[in-house]
Amino acid sequence: MEAICDAEGDLLVDIREGLSSLVDKSILRQEEKVEEEPRFVMLETIHEYARERLEVGGNAKEIRRLHAEYFLALAEEGESRLREPGEARWLERLDLEHDNMRAALSWTLESGEAELGLRLAGALWRFWWMRGHYGEGRRWLEEALAKDGPASAVRAKALEAVD
């Protein structure tokens, strides 16, 4: 949470206290924990309002970049963990965050952050394969490849996943 909401470490409110307050006011709902990390969900109407306020605030690009980087780190860790004992927990965790991964991928490709998107798509290929999301995974990889620049190790990894 802090990686996205308080990357600079200068937030005037403790994030956990703020989240607890929002749960108490029924603005957020806390779901069961995965690997001891709390997960919060908000109503779609609240989510839309928050998205609008983010745009008005002027730092939407930075927040979305931090969001994408956080989920890239999660996907890259998951990629390595899907080859180890306990992979079922990681499949479940990635399943829970799949919509966040999609949002991060969409943003990277729409905002010109193609290499970030390519890295994220490349890190998710094993998850998509194991969960039977072949078509979706291939579409994301092809779209990221179409937007990425010259040859690179990241590009080579994505091309390998598409084949």
The pLDDT-based confidence of 70 (bands split at 50, 70, 90) is very high
The pLDDT-based confidence of 41 (bands split at 50, 70, 90) is confident
As a whole number of angstroms, the distance between CA 134 and CA 27 comes to 35
Q: Name the pTM for this structure.
A: 0.81
Report the pLDDT averaged over residues 28-57. Answer: 82
What CA dihedral angle connects 151, 152, 154 and 159, to 10 degrees? Answer: 30
> Does the pLDDT of residue 3 top 70, yes or no?
no
Mean pLDDT score across all residues of the chain: 86
As a whole number of angstroms, the distance between CA 125 and CA 158 comes to 8
pLDDT of residue 85: 92
Sign of CA pseudo-dihedral 126, 128, 134, 137 = negative
Give CA separation, 116 vs 6, 15, 78, 142, in Å. 21, 27, 16, 14
The predicted-structure confidence for 81-99, as pLDDT tens digits, reads as follows: 999 998 999 999 999 999 9
What CA dihedral angle connects 155, 157, 158 and 159, to 10 degrees? Answer: 80
> 101 with 71: CB under 8 angstroms?
yes
